[in-house]
Structures are given as C-alpha cells and as structure tokens.
C-alpha cells in the first residue's frame, strides 16, 4: 500500500517545478480529501472503542498518532497546493490584467476561475473607490511618453486624451505611457528604447 | 510562511531510520519487510520525518542518524566539503541534520554542518555571480536544495546588475506568462 499523502505530494511537486501553471488535479485532490475523511474516522473509531487503551497502551497510542499525523500532513499539502495556485492567479491579475490567458484558464478549476474574478472585482472596486489604477506603473516611470511598435493587430483603442488610435502590426507610435503600459505587459505592443 | 512552504513540506518527507521501543498497532505499512498490519517491539525501519517527530515525542520510537550523518561522512565533510555531492545524500541535508541533532542530542553534528556549509558557501556565491550566461547545470548538481536556491538568487542578482548597467531596466517588457506562450506557439509552427 502506498503511503498516505503520496498522491497529494506528487501534485505539489509538479506545481513547484512547473514553469507555468499545471492543470488542476481534481482527482488527486478528492483522493486526498477521501484519505483525510478515512483517517479521521480511524482516529475516532479507536478513541470511541478503546478510550483507555488509547491513553495507556503505547501500541494503540502509536496508531492514533500515526493516523492523526497523516491527516494533518495531507491537510497541509493540500492547503499549500491551493495556496500557491491562488498566489499565482493573484499575481496574474497584476501582470496581465482582468482577463486570464487562455492556457491558464484551461489549467484552472471552476472554483479557481471564480476566485480570480472575485479577486478582480475586489481590486477593481478598491481602485474605483480610491480613484487610482494601482496596476499602472509597476516600475517607476522615467518618461511620460514612450515609443512603441505594434506586434499584433489589436484593433482600435481610445487614449486618455480621447483620441482614437488603430493599432496595426509593425506601426510605431509615440504615446502616453499610461495608455499602453498594459498592452506592453500583454505583449500586444513592444517598447522601443534607443 | 513556513506552513505553506513547499521545501519545508518536502523536508518533512525525508526518511529517517527509527527503532520501535514498543509495538505499534496499524503501523505495519511502514515496514515493507513484514506482512503483518502491525509493527513489533524492537523493529528497525525507515519512517518519514513528519511521523518520526510525533512518535519520538512520546518515546514510541528512538530515531537513529542516517548513514550520511555518520562519522565517516563527517570526516569527508571536514576534509573537503566542496567536492562532495551532498544532494545525492539528501536534498535537505543541513535542515535534516539540524532537526535530527535536536532530537538525538548529537550536538557535534550542527558544528560540522556549519563548517561544511561555510566552505561551500564561498564557492557557491562566487560562481553564481560570476558565471554570467554560461550553463550552470554542472555547478548546481552537487548542491542541496537550499544551496541551489542561494545559487539562483546570486545568479538572478548578477543578471539584474548587468541589466542596470546596460540601462535595460528602462525598457518595459511583456509579462513572462505572455512571452512563454509566444515561444511555444513559434515552436509549434515549425
């Protein structure tokens, strides 16, 4: 029999070595939850049936400790797994904005997608309230205007000044940094430095 | 936060040899040499650290040191720590050593580990910041997880300094999530 928590640890390892968000392992997660329920039942059964032995007979105490420690370990691995994935999604909101890139969307569970939109709403509400776009100028700006080249056709945008601007591939523009910063981070246009 | 730290979780999964002072019900799964579901008194078997800690607290098991904390490997460490492949022995060598020293009361061990780390530290920091863009896989092969993290920090810091010197920091870049995707798409086309 495989050791308790082995499966859970596998998905955590996969997450820690991956360079992009791996697919959510729903099967391993539900297996870990089943294990926890089973381990919990074992502990309760021993305590109910042999309360005296659990305290005085070291061999029975060992069994209680074993099941309890395995339960806690499973819980810790699962919490860490979800915690790190949530951190990744939070960062993404700051990096690329309110829309999840398609490959990330495929890798997330329904709950995680829900978390992302809830986080997006929370951040959005806060930024409306303080009337400031916090995701702008993640690095302190040096120039108000920057030159950019369009990498992929991106339709028409409206600048802060209210002008319409069509972004066609390979055209270059001299624009207010705040107008294009999010487009640079999304990789639609690239910043040209001379 | 240590509770969610993946390295801390992996450290707790390291195997330590243990001696069972009492019999233990239901723990037979830990000992592959016995078909019985229980463990007999006096059994010697390897158990994961997360279990070892709670069992040792109640004196159900006595923990032994793994062979790589033995006298002979300690002598090697003191002779020349730099050439040894510690990662092969245990990816969390130092951390495990310190934890076990506390449990087994082996106070000489942390001093040896500290000396070994000190010897290796200088080389790690030196290579990490001077290697530049050269391939580093050979350099980190022998390093433990903590040493590798140290190496990567130094390596990243050196790259940042270079970016600063070439004034590349002024340039806004696309997010790493996006650039990776594009690279994959380009590979797919070919």
Query: Domains plus CATH for chain A?
Result: 6-130 (1.20.58.1030), 145-191 (3.40.5.60)
Residues B77 and B144 in one domain: yes
| Same domain, residue pair B72 and B163 | yes
B177 and A CB contact within 8 Å: yes
**pLDDT over 60 at B96, yes or no:** yes
pLDDT of A1 reads 39
Task: Say yes or no to pLDDT of B167 above 80.
Answer: no
Residue of B nearest to A96 (CA): B175
Which residues lie below 8 Å from residue A161, measured CB to CB, with a gap of 6+? A176
Residues B12 and B55 in one domain: yes
Question: Cβ–Cβ of A3/B3 closer than 8 Å?
Answer: no
The predicted pLDDT at position B34 comes to 80
- Which of B7, B36, B160, B174 to mutate to probe the A interface, most A CBs <10 Å? B174
Q: Is the pLDDT of residue A82 over 90?
A: yes
* Residues facing B19 on adjacent strands: B44, B62
Res. B186 pLDDT band, cuts 50 70 90: low
Bridge partner residues of A145 (DSSP): A176
Total of domains in chain B:
2
pLDDT at B121: 94
More confident residue, A142 or A38: A38
Do B93 and B44 fall within a single domain? no
In chain A, % of residues over pLDDT 70: 99
Strand-pair category, A164-167 with A155-158:
antiparallel
Residue B21, domain extent: 1-64
Are B25 and A1 inside 8 Å of each other by CB? no
Q: Do A58 and B27 touch (CB under 8 A)?
A: no
Question: Residue A15's pLDDT band (boundaries 50, 70, 90)?
Answer: very high
The pLDDT, as a whole number, for residue A40 is 96
Confirm if B140 and B153 have CB atoms less than 8 A apart. no
C-alpha distances (whole Å) from B186 to each of A144, B88, B134 are 33, 37, 25
Under a CB-based contact definition with an 8 Å cutoff, are residues A114 and A121 in contact?
Answer: no
Of the residues B35, B64, B93, the one at which a domain ends: B64
- Among residues B64, B81, B114, the one where a domain terminates is B64
pLDDT class for A157, splitting at 50, 70, 90? confident
| Chain A hits for B9, Cβ within 8 Å | 9, 12, 76-77, 80
Do B149 and B58 fall within a single domain?
no
Average pLDDT over chain B reads 87
Q: Is the pLDDT of residue A2 over 80?
A: no
Query: Which pLDDT does position B190 carry in this prediction?
Result: 44
Query: Strand A172-176 vs strand B44-48: parallel, antiparallel, or unpaired?
Result: unpaired
pLDDT at A48: 93
The domain spanning residue B45 has which CATH number?
Answer: 3.40.5.50
Q: What is the pTM of this model?
A: 0.84
Over residues A83-105, the pLDDT tens digits come to 999 999 999 999 888 888 888 99
**pLDDT band with cut points at 50, 70 and 90 for residue A162:** confident
Q: Are residues B120 and B188 in the same domain?
A: yes
Distance between CA atoms of B2 and B54, rounded to whole angstroms? Answer: 18
Compute the average pLDDT of residues A61-83: 94
Report residue B150's pLDDT band, with 50, 70 and 90 as the boundaries. Answer: very high
CA–CA separation, A192 vs A172, rounded Å? 9
CA distance A99 to A40: 40
């Amino acid at each position: 029999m495989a050791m308790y928590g082995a499966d859970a640890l596998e998905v955590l390892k996969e997450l820690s070595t991956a360079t992009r968000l791996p697919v959510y392992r729903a099967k391993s997660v539900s297996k870990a939850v089943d294990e926890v329920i089973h381990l919990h039942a074992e502990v309760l059964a021993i305590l109910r049936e042999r309360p005296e032995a659990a305290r005085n007979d070291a061999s029975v105490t060992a069994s209680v400790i074993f099941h309890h420690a395995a339960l806690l370990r499973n819980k810790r691995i699962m919490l860490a797994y979800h915690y790190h994935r949530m951190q990744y999604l939070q960062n993404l909101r700051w990096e690329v904005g309110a829309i999840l890139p398609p490959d990330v969307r495929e890798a997330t569970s329904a709950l995680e997608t829900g978390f992302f939109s809830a986080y997006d709403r929370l951040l959005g509400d806060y930024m409306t309230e303080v009337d400031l776009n916090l995701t702008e100028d993640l690095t302190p700006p040096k120039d108000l205007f920057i030159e950019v080249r369009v990498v992929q056709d991106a339709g028409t945008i409206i600048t802060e000044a209210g002008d319409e601007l069509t972004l066609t591939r390979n055209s270059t523009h001299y624009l207010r940094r705040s107008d294009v910063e999010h487009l640079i981070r999304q990789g639609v246009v690239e910043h040209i430095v001379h | 936060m240590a509770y969610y730290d993946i390295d801390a979780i992996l450290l707790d999964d390291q195997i330590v040899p243990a001696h069972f002072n009492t019999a233990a019900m239901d723990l037979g799964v830990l000992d592959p040499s016995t078909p019985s579901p229980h463990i007999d008194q006096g059994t010697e078997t390897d158990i994961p650290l997360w279990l070892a800690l709670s069992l040792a607290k109640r004196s159900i098991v006595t923990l032994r040191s793994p062979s790589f904390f033995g006298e002979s490997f300690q002598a090697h460490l003191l002779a020349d720590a730099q050439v040894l492949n510690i990662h092969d022995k245990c990816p969390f060598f130092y951390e495990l050593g310190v934890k076990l020293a506390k449990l087994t009361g082996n106070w000489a061990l942390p001093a040896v580990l500290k000396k070994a780390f000190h010897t290796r530290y200088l080389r790690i920091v030196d290579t990490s910041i001077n290697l530049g863009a050269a391939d580093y896989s050979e350099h980190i092969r022998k390093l433990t997880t903590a040493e590798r993290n140290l190496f990567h920090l130094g390596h990243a810091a050196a790259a940042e300094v270079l970016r600063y010197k070439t004034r590349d920091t002024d340039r806004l870049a696309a997010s790493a999530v996006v650039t990776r995707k594009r690279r994959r798409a380009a590979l797919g086309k070919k």
